[in-house]
Homo-oligomer: A and B are copies of this chain.
Amino acid sequence: MRVAVVRETRPQEKRVALVPELVGRLTGAGLDVVVETGAGLTAFHTDDAYRDAGADVRDDVLEGSDVILSVQPLDPVRVANLKPGAITLSFIPTASELEFVRQARDAGVTACAMELVPRISRAQSMDALTSQALVAGYRAVLVAAERLPRFFPLSMTAAGTVPPAQALVLGAGVAGLQAIATARRLGARVDAYDVRAASAEEIRSLGARFVELDLPSLEGAGGYAREMTEERAQQQRDLLAPYVTAADVVITTAAVPGRSAPLLVERDAVEAMKPGSVVVDLAAESGGNVEGSRPGEELTVGQTLLWGGANVPSQLPVHASRLYAANLVNLILLMTSEGEITVDLDDEIIDGVCVTHDGTVRHEPTRASLEEEG
């Protein structure tokens, strides 16, 4: 059977769904791999590198392919031309991709959404949200450090000692923990906060201080935080404000998949920061943790730089692609036996990721949205 890798067409998407290094894992399982011409260039992989790894490189890869790999969902018009029974693996932000889902359903395509990999230990190696969050958390710190007019580390010099930067990380999921670890590597003092009290131990184990607010804890299902009332959210913002104001760098990472990001930092708190401070909002695309942040833009608020993330993993395309490709390959190999790929809905992982299959929409919220649209 044949696995196709397409060239991404959306603006700012620099990742590629398969890297040359991992082609051999698919061919070794008896699968053919075809890569669209130029698919890897934005992630610094040449066509020759794919050929050397055992893939075929050509202009048209969709016709006749059994599995199609991409980072962003395919254009709906391309999905409509896939053969019935074909499988697509990609991210599918279903709320904004209803047309893609409709076309996949109507074409009899099995569309798998990498966001929906269940958070169980057997699926860890396929968890693309986690792998991409690792990249985003790392990059958030580099963005901040490169823009800060001061040192991150304590510097003891003959001309005196310069204190370390004070960083504040809000949200201690995968991206937040990676941000904490990277800021600590660079020598900053780090405070961190998460609504889940259970995160305190993880935060402390990385050498950061856990910010304890006088609020009841919110522990949600599946490792994500639950939403909270507006009154409690305002209390939280008020209690966080002095920590924001005291920090040289604030990195916010609080996102709830499929929902608007919670507002954690108000404009007043940003304006009260020291001149030259830097705020990085990794949640800018889903509404923002910081008032006024805009995805893909660097704004000045008071005398603070406010950087809004837009597809941040794509800004480290070599390794974001490498990790994402490994997630895909692991999922494909789970579906492969003796060179044949099958969709086994009795497997909890496959059941979880399949948004469409055999002419139906299997993801409940998406089916409801499509029915509403009519």
CB–CB A151/B187 < 8 A: no
Which residue on B lies nearest to A320, using beta carbons? B149
9-residue interface stretch from A124-132, A208-216, A332-340: A124-132
Q: Which of B130, B159, B319, B324 contacts A327 (CB 8 A)?
A: B159
Q: A149-B316, A318-B276, A322-B162 are in contact. Are A157 and B131 (CB under 8 A)?
A: yes
Q: A44-B303, A146-B142, A185-B186 are in contact. Are A330 and B134 (CB under 8 A)?
A: no
CB–CB B162/A323 < 8 A: yes
CB–CB B146/A158 < 8 A: no
A92 at interface (Cβ–Cβ under 8 A)?
Answer: no
| Least Cβ–Cβ distance between A63 and chain B, in angstroms | 30
A295 at interface (Cβ–Cβ under 8 A)?
Answer: no
CB–CB A157/B134 < 8 A: yes
* Complex interface: chain B residues within 8 A of A130 (CB): 157-158
User: With A and B bound together, what is the CA distance between A327 and B185 in angstroms?
Assistant: 29
| Least Cβ–Cβ distance between A145 and chain B, in angstroms | 5
A1 at interface (Cβ–Cβ under 8 A)?
Answer: no
User: With A and B bound together, what is the CA distance between A148 and B142 in angstroms?
Assistant: 10
* Complex interface: chain B residues within 8 A of A319 (CB): 149-151, 155, 162
Q: How many residues of A are in contact with the other chain, CB < 8 A?
A: 47
A43 at interface (Cβ–Cβ under 8 A)?
Answer: yes
A198 at interface (Cβ–Cβ under 8 A)?
Answer: no
A46 at interface (Cβ–Cβ under 8 A)?
Answer: yes
| Least Cβ–Cβ distance between A143 and chain B, in angstroms | 6
A138 at interface (Cβ–Cβ under 8 A)?
Answer: yes
A153 at interface (Cβ–Cβ under 8 A)?
Answer: yes
CB–CB B44/A158 < 8 A: no
Which residue on B lies nearest to A153, using beta carbons? B185
A223 at interface (Cβ–Cβ under 8 A)?
Answer: no
* Complex interface: chain B residues within 8 A of A207 (CB): none
| Least Cβ–Cβ distance between A35 and chain B, in angstroms | 16
Q: A146-B143, A150-B316, A153-B185 are in contact. Are A160 and B326 (CB under 8 A)?
A: yes
A274 at interface (Cβ–Cβ under 8 A)?
Answer: yes
User: With A and B bound together, what is the CA distance between A274 and B151 in angstroms?
Assistant: 30
User: With A and B bound together, what is the CA distance between A185 and B184 in angstroms?
Assistant: 9
A317 at interface (Cβ–Cβ under 8 A)?
Answer: yes
User: With A and B bound together, what is the CA distance between A114 and B186 in angstroms?
Assistant: 30
User: With A and B bound together, what is the CA distance between A185 and B316 in angstroms?
Assistant: 19
Give A307-333 interface residues, CB cut-off 8 Å to B.
316-319, 322-324, 326-327, 330
| Least Cβ–Cβ distance between A234 and chain B, in angstroms | 31
User: With A and B bound together, what is the CA distance between A251 and B182 in angstroms?
Assistant: 21
User: Interface code A179-210, partner B: CB below 8 Å = 1, 0 otherwise?
Assistant: 00010011100000000000000000000000
Q: A157-B323, A303-B44 are in contact. Are A146 and B149 (CB under 8 A)?
A: no
A64 at interface (Cβ–Cβ under 8 A)?
Answer: no
Pairs A-B, 3 closest by C-beta atoms: A44-B275, A124-B158, A159-B326
